[in-house]
Amino acid sequence: DAGVIQSPRHEVTEMGQEVTLRCKPISGHNSLFWYRQTMMRGLELLIYFNNNVPIDDSGMPEDRFSAKMPNASFSTLKIQPSEPRDSAVYFCASSSRVWGGWVDTQYFGPGTRLTVL
CB atoms within 10 A of CB 112: 22
* Smallest separation, CB 12 to another protein (Å): 16
Which of 19, 48, 69, 79 is in the footprint of another protein by CB under 8 A?
A: 48
Which of 14, 18, 56, 83 is in the footprint of another protein by CB under 8 A?
A: 56
Rounded Cα distance between 65 and 43, Å, is: 17
* Smallest separation, CB 19 to another protein (Å): 19
> Per CB under 8 A, does 50 bind another protein?
yes
**Could you tell me which residues come within 8 angstroms of residue 115 by beta carbon, excluding any fewer than 6 positions away?**
10, 11, 12, 13, 87
Q: Is the peptide bond before 81 cis (omega within 30 degrees of 0)?
A: yes
Residue (81 or 110) nearer to another protein, CB? 110
Give ∠ CA 114-115-117 in degrees, rounded to 5: 150
Annotate each residue in 6-35 with x if it binds another protein (CB under 8 A) or - if it does not, as one string. Answer: -------------------------x-x--
Phi, psi values for residue 42, rounded to 5°: 70, -150
Binding site for another protein (CB under 8 A): 31, 33, 42-43, 45, 48, 50, 55-56, 89, 91, 95, 97-98, 101-111
